[in-house]
Amino acid sequence: MHNKLLITLLFNSIFITGCSREIPAHPMCRVNQSQSELAPAQAACLIKQDNKLLVLQHKDSDDWHIPQGKALKSISAQCTAHNVVWKNTGLNVEVGKLLLTASDNTLYFACHLTDEHSQQIEELSVPEWANRNVAKVSFIDPFTLTEEDFSESIELPKIREAFISIKQSTP
């Protein structure tokens, strides 16, 4: 009887926690060992899978955006990029080399999916804890998109060039 009660309590606790909008504890920031961590800055991740770019779609429009976060005083630019991907997709990426510094001083990093399961995904469910403005997480060919497809002004030709330079990682 006690074991059955304990299992029921554990199940209910897991169920309640699993349906919460609370963000789970952040995984440790993962920066490729060959890269020096940079000072805090606005940062973004370019994530390449099967020659497609990970993008987020807004709920209020059909506009896309690249996972990007504002500078926080206490963490490196790479960790800002890592955190924004985690918060919006649930993916624990490894942040690699700096690919591009945009005219608005956003740093774009090559970020890699590091496990075999993540590399099989074509479209992700938006985690419960994600930004409420995110409706969809998808991988899209960046050469089929135009600057008008994005919610914010981006330098699409430079982003495409940086995207091409990303080497596909394998677990």
Model pTM score: 0.79
Q: What is the pLDDT of residue 122?
A: 63
Nearest alpha carbon to residue 78 among 50, 43, 46: 43
What letter represents residue 38's amino acid?
Answer: L
Closest CA to 29 of 111, 139, 101, 150: 111
The whole-chain average pLDDT of the chain stands at 81
How far is CA 170 from its chain centroid? 18
Predicted pLDDT of residue 114: 78
Q: Is 20 helix (H, G, I), strand (E, B) or coil?
A: coil
When pLDDT is cut at 50, 70 and 90, the band that residue 168 belongs to is low
Polymer length of the chain: 171
Q: Which fold has domain 24-165?
A: Nucleoside Triphosphate Pyrophosphohydrolase (3.90.79)
What percent of the chain is modeled with pLDDT above 90? Answer: 46
What is residue 129's DSSP assignment? T
Q: Is 98 helix (H, G, I), strand (E, B) or coil?
A: strand
Single-letter code of the amino acid located at 148: E
Query: CA Rg, the chain, in Å?
Result: 18
**Each residue of 117-158: pLDDT tens digit?**
555 566 677 777 766 778 889 999 999 999 999 988 889 999
**Chain segment 60-92, per-residue pLDDT in tens:** 888 999 999 999 888 999 999 999 999 888 888
Domain boundaries, the chain: 24-165
